[in-house]
Structure 1
Amino acid sequence: MGRAEERRARQRGGRRAAPQSSPATPVAGVGGRAAARRAAKGGRAKGGKGRIRRLFTWKKILGTVFGLCLLGIGAFIVLYMMIGIPEGNADAKVQSNIYQYSNGSLLARTGTLNREIVDLAQVPKPVQRTFVAAENKTFYQDSGVDFRGTARGLFNTFTGKGAQGGSTITQQYVKNYYLTQEQTVTRKLKELVISLKLDREKPKDYILAGYINTSYYGRGAYGIQAAAQAYYRVDAQDLSVEQGAYLAALLQAPNQYDWAIASDEGKRLVQARWNYVLDNMVEEGWLNKGERDAMKFPVPEPPRNDPSMEGQTGYLVKSADAALERQLVAQGTAEDLKTAQAMVDQGGWTITLNIDKKKQTALERAVTTQLNSKLDPKRRSVDADVQAGAASVNPKTGAVVAMYGGKNYLDHYLNNATRTDYQPASTFKPVILAAALEEKAETQDGKPITANTIYDGTSKRQVVDDGTKVGFAPENEDDQNYGKITVQRAMNDSVNSVFAQMGVDVGMSEVMKVGGRLGLDTKGLQAVPAQTLGTMGASPLEMAGIYATLDNHGRKVTPALIKSVEHNTRKVTFPDPVGEQVISRKAADTVTSVLTGVVDDGTAKKSVQDNAKRDGQQVAGKTGTSDDNKSAWFTGYTPDLVTSVGLFGEDDKPPHAQVPMYKAGGEPRVNGGGFPAQIWAAYMFGVAAPDTKFDLETDQGAAVRPTATPTITRSPSATPSRTPTSESPTPTNSPTPSNSPTPTSSPTPTNSPSPDPVPTPPETTPPAEGGPVDPFDPGDDQ
């Protein structure tokens, strides 16, 4: 048999019956091939899922996690064996800080270490426990480490999310004395290991003594003995429980909680912290509740004088420290302000300020000649209650070139240039106009709001919104009625009723948003009509920044006190003070144009426009006088410089409450157009560039030269019912810019009516239908 026959025989013997085909399963043709492909893909998919299931089983996942845990434990054991408890180095790291003017000349040098170590036995046991109650109630039972807080801190540091929180007293002591304040993963791991070792090797009293002797309490005081002397003029062994609780509370934020310089919010927070400490002591059984209930907050003594901080030096140095501390936190070098303060106080910094020495001297001289020399507390007790603050900013760079914080840092520690507890009053009105222009807002009858829009200037006129009264009827200064006036005239004479209505026309939420973009701190502020009168708090530095943004054509200017910082181990970079466009140039320039009218023919005319030292500068600005004459302002600018001056009525006796300034300096009332504007002019016209003009892109406002003769005039009206004050001159024609030739006639824009070319008394339009006056209405706000 040949090979071919053998092959056929084998095939016949081993052949199987072919499967029966069914209608649903084609075996030939295109349909058969497609089914085969689908079957093949299904098989591969099932095979892929199977492989994934085999790869990621629960056993394997748990095994991997367990392995990672073992790896972490092993790594920690290695770290624990490698890292020992180092020698303490806190004293060796304290150096001087050098502060310089913008030209590099010396302003101040600080950095003397104020520390005296005391044995824990010299600190009364109840005082010791105040620190435990404040920082770490489980101190006597824990292992020296808060693992949950440390893990959170490591994660936050690794991901750049900020502060750690949750450290024990042991960890804080280790950070203060053995390590640095740097916010790094390496430092935190070292802190963890050293804390565990220290807790095993040393008794709790040793650790607590180290903690209270190395912590920073503010006022340059390191350790409880220095703090007891700095705040209460006693030794640590003589501290009461109440005083100890304050010092323990102080550690959370030494500068913010220092009673001598704390804001109202800071005082509220430290008292709350003080109560928290004492309540914890009662909870732990360390203090009798009856004794606790009888305790009163122990107000600290004022700081001792440091001659090197005399005059304005202390204000500048402390403000520079605060700015550096904020930036250390912002860039992630420090976990929080408390840590940043410790970094700055350890020294080694060379801080160059933007302060121009000549401008600084000129500002101080202006306040002395225009205000301080006219105050006589012996003749008028109110004169002792007048505080001045000022800040001057370059609108092109954001540099703070001069600052006035008060008569003397050694006598008044709170910086009047940066305090935010007084109302800016009518200096807020330009923000309302800026919002109206930026949002292209309309009046209640649908007319666009411009410098020439007509409003009702009747005093106590009810503000309406879509035909409904909103329950707010602000009074103009001296209850003066202006009748129908333009927005320009209303800004010149600071007419409250007009801007209250305008704020509602724009929408108060939009007004506050624009205010925030310009630089106002709007956190926690309600968007209510009363805010149109400037009833929020603001500082001269803050207002200077807002007006600098307007001067800079709508590009955000954030005032910058620090020019540069140098340190041998740390690098600090500051953001550009000039930011993005926050409102349109046209809106900003229009506000500037309108504000020239306040100077040329409004509430600042007498002190600024008519000042003999004015050297051709074009000026824009706004006056302000708050409720019950507790503050008075003038914030104004030339094309190259912005300065805000504020006067504040502050009782010279504790608790330093806000008080009126009526009759201060021999004036019936301290108005923004008085002392503040006089200080502004005396300073600005000596340092601002001469003969400067604004470069404005607008066709509105007092800075725009009229192009046509008037088409509408009015006859003089009846004698006004009240005589305007010096801050509210009798309404006249819209001003002619001081830098332009005076026209032979008194032209006005053709698209709006205006008063007669000759001065006319205000209209005596009867008040609108009555309604409840808003309880927050400052009344005579100008």
Structure 2
Amino acid sequence: MGRAEERKARQRGGRRAAPRNRPSPPPEPPESETPAAGGTTAVAAPSVAEGATRAERRKAAAKTKPGKPGKGGKPAQGRIRRLFTWKKMLGTFLGVCLLGIGTFIALYMMVSIPAGNALAQTQSNVYKYSDGTVLARKGTVNREIVDLSKVPKDVQHTFVAAENKTFYHDNGINLRGMARGLYNTAMGRGTQGGSTITQQYVKNYYLDQNQTITRKLKELVITLKVDQEKSKDYILAGYINTSYYGRGAYGIQAAAQAYYHVDAKDLNVQQGAYLAALLQAPSQYDWAVAGPVGRKLVQQRWNYVLNNMVGQGWLDKSKRDAMRFPIPKQPKAASGLGGQKGYLVELANTQLENQLMKKQGISRSDAEALVVDQGWTITLNIDRKKQAKLEAAVKSQLTSKLDGKKRKVDKNVQAGAVSVDPRTGKILALYGGTSYYDHYTDNATRADYQPASTFKPIILAAALEEQAKTQDGKDINANTIYDGTSGRPVKGSDIAFSPPNEDKTDYGDITVQTAMNKSVNSVFAQMGVDVGMKNVMRTADQLGLDTTGLQAVPAMTLGSMGASPLEMAGVYATFDNHGRKVTPTVIASAEKTGRKVDIPDPIGDQVISRTAADQVTSVLTGVVDDGTAKVSVAQNPLRDGQQVAGKTGTSDNNKSAWFTGYTPDLVTSVGLFGEDAKTHNQVPLTGATGLIPGTGRINGGGYPAQIWATYTFGVTKKQKFELETDLGAAVQPTVTPSKSATPSQTPSQTPSETPSKSASPSQTPSRTPSQTPPTTSPPPTTNEPSLPVETPTGGDTNNPLDPGNGGQ
């Protein structure tokens, strides 16, 4: 055998190759089996070339191990590799792409540009009272189409800068935004931004606002065709003429008149930037009704628009730097909504929009487009008779006494009120102002004035719910003794706070019941710290106040945050409803072409215990019978024995005055607000209706309580509260002690203020000490003198962190 043959033999495992002219013997199996001890069969290892390394032998041995199909062995791996080859994966991908392209081509061939339907979709909304009679019919479209040539070029650019910087160069489609929109729609997450101006125009003019995959695919096709067949100027003109800007204005001409009282051709770039910014959220960004957050956001959006114009080379930077935000003018109300109708319609629209936003996950702008003048039939919870009674009460007790020609301050008095059924949460009556035409802002829903001492019951509710204790470890309830010294520094606070009482009166040791009756600031400031201000603010939020962004500081015990009559009515309705949350609702039903929107139940969960809520109610009956609402409510001849609970409030510097009160079947919050007739800044109410300037303050126990009593005692049913508590004035009535009575808790010797017979109730108190004889009711819990009238000091706490002099 030659060397070559020997090498080949070694490579074959030592076997010599058979001669070519002889048939080869059958191959030997790779493994031989020899009997092993015990009758078993041993598997012999395959032959390994002589001189192989240890690693090579291990590899050879590993090859003899049987695979485990389906569990990681080589047979299963092989099947996976054969199944997911790169050729198959690439083929699948290309197939899907071809299928998608084919589908799109078919869709593109089938879908044509439809006729514009914007006008066809605009219909009248019908609003009805709870009894089915028509309240208002609103549907006149405030739109005037203007040619793009009538709109200044700079103003045209503001809309492009705001919505679609690549408008003049793109094909009308934002693929990334479209893909995100399709995905979110498929996942039920609502919509997001990203649409081009062309897409928005197509949606506004050719399609509807429904968010479905089919509708979005149609939008894609029609957008591409519109972009191919129409000029950019045509598309931009259509966009700015069909968009909704708020204030009932459709199109840029109507918007220019609504916000700046000029024609579109006379708009400057600053005003155009505001209108362009407005399209993102018309109601939230409307300067006349926007809160601090809304005003901040729209200014940020305005700056964004102008900065984009500079970046696109459409605006000189030096000119942009010199520009100032153009404050819009006061709105002009739409026709047909005079008196209280406009306020009711706007609140109904807002609450319906809120529900659509929640259910469909859409933006405020899209919700407005679905609601405003879109053919809805909306039945309100408003009771026609109660509505008329509330309007009459405001007129007889307040507006008939105002004379703006004689007294400038009379022009600054604004009234708002909301009346709610605590068992159902229905808003039965609402007063938003003298007229929707005269005062666009709804005083019933505005939340920019301090509720003052009407916040005190919330502090007590938090104390009872948290089972809080005083600094010396005593349980807090109606009978707990507190130091009522005016200006006394609160204990246990990291922030120094020493609020004065009204007229800086010292009361000494008094019960919580008496402190509520007399609205003693020093007591409730200390109670707030004892409970923990975070707990107080959490309770306020649970009861219905919006506490977002507010600091939990002791100054909040004076009611120095903003609140609306609508919110305060909801809070007190929750007390009246034994602690079950009441969210006042104006809509009974909303229907459109067979579609009905589900209105959530205004009655929610138990947010505070019944015991806590009922004790608050019990304590608040004392405010009416022996406190700051005594003259206007308790002694009102219309009362006829009706049990009443409530609280007055008068803010510092007399910029607002409140009375929120309730009977077992009706809760009504009345607020008076000082608003400068020209600048709309907050101003004092002092001297209004001819009261002596400087001393004639409008107190919560005055006109607000008088309006409340005149309205409530004419519509409420006579009944008693059903209370589960053994504390508070309702079950332990207090009476004014005689002079000979010996006080049990060292009361203040400062005489209370009872109006003289010649004084106007609760406005001009005399300084004669109260000497009301004891009644036949059960023995008093305290010997404190009563204070039927409250007169705030002249401090100003517009800054929530500034304690001022304490509102009552």
Alignment TM-score, normalising by the size of structure 1: 0.87
Alignment-derived partner of residue 100 in structure 1: 128
Structure 1 position 720 matched with structure 2 position 750: yes
3-state SS, counterpart of residue 637 of structure 1: strand
1:250 maps to: 278
1:581–1:108 CA distance, 2 compared to 1 (3 A): same
**1:376-407 alpha-carbon deviations (Å, 9 max, x no partner):** 22332212111110000000110000000011
Partner Cα distance (1:268, 1:295) in 2? 17
Aligned match of 2:413: 386
Report the equivalent of 1:517: 542
* SS of aligned partner of 2:275: helix
Alpha carbons 2:161, 2:308 under 8 Å: kept: yes
Q: Give the deviation of 1:237 after TM superposition.
A: 2.4
The match for 2:526 among 498, 501, 510 is 501
Q: Which residue of structure 1 aligns with residue 34 of structure 2?
A: 17
2:391 aligned with 1:358: no
Which residue does the alignment assign to 1:219?
Answer: 247
* Identity rate, percent: 64
* 1:3-56 Cα distance to aligned partner (Å, 9 max, x none): xxxxxxxxxxx9952135899x9xxxxxxxxxxxxx999777444964785487
* Contact in 2 for aligned 1:730/1:760 (Cα 8 Å): no
Pick from 677, 689, 694 the counterpart of residue 652 of structure 1. 677
Structure 1 residues 469 and 280: alpha-carbon distance in aligned structure 2, compared to 1, 3 A threshold: closer
Q: How does 1:520-669 map to 2 (within 5 A)?
A: 520-568=545-593, 570-654=595-679, 656-667=680-691, 668-669=696-697
What letter matches 1:471 in structure 2? A
Kindly indicate whether the alpha-carbon contact (under 8 Å) linking 1:150 and 1:164 is maintained by their aligned counterparts in 2.
Answer: no
2:792 maps to none
**Which moved further from structure 2: 177-186 or 216-225?**
216-225
CA distance in 1, matches of 2:244, 2:484: 56
Q: Which residue of 2 aligns with 1:742?
A: 776
- Judged with a 3 Å threshold, the aligned counterparts in structure 2 of structure 1 residues 687 and 485 are, in CA distance, closer, same or farther, namely same
Quickly say closer, same or farther: Cα 1:569–1:223, change in 2 above 3 A: farther
Give the direction of change, closer, same or farther, for the CA distance of 1:717–1:358 in structure 2 (3 Å limit): closer
8 Å CA contact 1:391–1:544 kept in 2: the answer is yes
Please say if 1:162 is aligned against 2:207.
no
Task: Compute the displacement of 1:58 (Å).
Answer: 7.1
Q: CA 1:273–1:774 in 2, change beyond 3 Å: closer, same or farther? A: closer
Secondary structure of 1:686 counterpart: coil
Please list the CA deviations of residues 181-229 of structure 1 after superposition, one character each: whole Å capped at 9, or x if unmatched: 1122222221122112222222211111111111112232222222223
- Structure 1 stretch displaced more, 231-240 or 626-635: 231-240
- How much has 1:538 moved relative to structure 2? 0.7
Between the two proteins, the alignment pairs up a number of residues equal to 729
Which of 774, 777, 781 is the equivalent residue of 2:803? Answer: 777
**Out of 419, 442, 454, which is 1:415 matched to?**
442
| Cα distance in 1 between the residues matched to 2:769 and 2:606 | 35
Instruction: Show the counterpart of 2:358.
Output: 330
Max Rg structure? 2
- Which stretch has the larger CA shift, 246-255 or 528-537? 246-255
**Residue type of the alignment partner of 1:779:** N
Distance 1:50 1:732, change over 3 A: farther
Following superposition, the deviation at residue 335 of structure 1 comes to 2.2
Match of 2:168 in 1: 140
Aligned partner of 1:453 in structure 2 is 480
Tell me if the contact between 1:420 and 1:539 (Cα under 8 Å) persists in the aligned partners. Answer: yes
SS of the equivalent of 1:17 reads: strand
1:760–1:680: structure 2 CA closer, same or farther, 3 Å change rule? closer
Worse-superposed segment, 357-366 or 186-195: 186-195
1:190 matched to 2:222: no
Q: Deviations over 1:137-188 (max 9, x none)?
A: 1111222111222222222222222332111101110100000011222222
SS at match of 2:396: helix
Q: Output the aligned Cα RMSD.
A: 3.3
The 2-side partners of 1:365 and 1:173 are apart by 47
SS of 2:35 mapped into structure 1: coil
Q: Does the 8 Å CA contact 1:452/1:488 hold for their aligned counterparts? A: yes
Q: Partners in 2 of 1:627 and 1:201 — Cα distance?
A: 64
- 1:697 Cα offset (Å): 0.8
Is the contact made by 1:480 and 1:724 (CA closer than 8 Å) also made in structure 2? Answer: no
Q: Which AA in structure 2 matches 1:441?
A: A
SS in 2 for 1:687: coil
Hey, what does 2:511 align to over in structure 1?
Answer: 486
- 1:399-438 superposed matches below 5 A: 399-438=426-465
The C-alpha deviation readout for 1:640-685, integer Å capped at 9, x for no partner, is 000000111111112x111111222234111111111111111100
Summarize deviations over 1:463-515 as a string: whole Å, max 9, x none: 121xx663111111111111111111111111111111111111111111111
Q: What is the deviation of 1:341?
A: 1.4
Which moves more between the two structures, 59-68 or 278-287? 59-68
Matched residue, 1:288: 316
Matched letter for residue 720 of structure 2 = K
1:758-769 correspondence to structure 2 within 5 Å: none
Q: Deviations over 1:61-89 (max 9, x none)?
A: 66655554444444333323322211111
1:687-725 deviation per Cα after TM superposition (whole angstroms, max 9, x unaligned): 1112x10011111111114799x9984498775289689
Residue 303 of structure 1 deviates from its aligned partner by: 3.3
In structure 2, the residue matched to 1:6 is: none
Q: Report the 3-state secondary structure (helix = DSSP H, G, I; strand = E; otherwise coil) of the residue aligned with 2:662.
A: strand
Amino acid in structure 1 at the alignment position of 2:689: G
Which one-letter code corresponds to 2:722 in the other structure? D
Query: Are residues 1:122 and 2:150 paired?
Result: yes
8 Å Cα contact 1:463/1:470 also seen in 2: no
Match of 1:308 in 2: 336
Q: Which residue of structure 1 lines up, in the alignment, with residue 726 of structure 2?
A: 699
Summarize deviations over 1:550-591 as a string: whole Å, max 9, x none: 111111110001111111164311111111111111111111
Residue 805 of structure 2 aligns to which amino acid in structure 1?
G
Tell me the residue number matched to 1:349: 376
Q: Note the C-alpha offset of 1:424.
A: 0.9
Q: Give me the whole-angstrom Cα distance separating, in 2, the residues matched to 1:183 and 1:547.
A: 39
Looking at structure 2, the residues matched to 104 and 125 of structure 1 have their Cα atoms a distance apart, in angstroms, of 50
Query: Structure 2: which amino acid aligns with 1:605?
Result: K
In 2: Cα distance, 1:648 partner to 1:384 partner: 11
Within the candidate set 464, 473, 479, 2:498 is matched to 473
Q: Distance in 2 between matches of 1:258 and 1:519?
A: 25
Aligned ranges 1:54-133 → 2 under 5 Å: 54=81, 57=84, 59=86, 67-133=95-161
Q: 1:570 to 1:734 in 2, by over 3 A?
A: farther
Partner of 1:202: 230
Q: CA deviation at 1:269?
A: 2.9
8 Å Cα contact 1:488/1:734 also seen in 2: no
Helix, strand or coil for the counterpart of 1:621? strand
| 1:266-298 Cα deviation digits (max 9, x unpaired) | 333333322222221112110112222333333
Residues 406-455 of structure 1, C-alpha deviations (whole Å, 9 max, x = no match) = 11111110000000111111111111111111111111111111111111
- Contact kept in structure 1, 2:528 and 2:536, CA below 8 Å: yes
- Give the distance between the partners of 1:650 and 1:62, measured in 2 at CA: 71
Amino acid at match of 2:518: D
Instruction: Say which structure, 1 or 2, has more relative contact order (CA 8 Å, 6+ apart).
Output: 1
